[in-house]
Amino acid sequence: MLDRAINDLMRVAEAASRKDLTVVPQRVGDPSLDRLSEGIGTMLTDLRKIISEVVGGTRQFTDSSMLIAKTAQDLAECSLSQNAAVEEMNAAIEQLTRSIQGIRDKAQEANRNA
């Protein structure tokens, strides 16, 4: 009975070392060994839950990171677009200023000639 219990627990431990946490220890009929098997089974179930939660958290983190990166990219594109619009407005204002100065100069010249 002891050999069978040890062999079964070794089977479970070896499966866990291969990342297979689905293998469940068998009951052997001895209260102490069955309690040990049950404890190991509970531990493996809890490990599966923890790993599942970590994977879920990692997915959420990845999704959030991708969203942040996309938002940053969108902001950068908007910033470039706004910068280009500001440069165009500056050029238009400079041209308007030159036009106004030209009109002022011609008006002053017309006043002198009048």
pLDDT of residue 70: 96
The secondary structure of residue 29, as a DSSP letter, is: S
pLDDT of residue 55: 95
pLDDT per residue rounded down to tens, the chain (114 residues):
888 999 999 999 999 999 999 999 999 889 999 999 999 999 999 999 999 999 999 999 999 999 999 999 999 999 999 999 999 999 999 999 999 999 999 999 888 887
Cβ contact 5:30 at 8 Å: yes
Compute CA distances 96 → 48, 77, 85, 89, 105, whole Å. Answer: 71, 29, 16, 10, 14
pLDDT of residue 19: 92
pLDDT of residue 114: 74
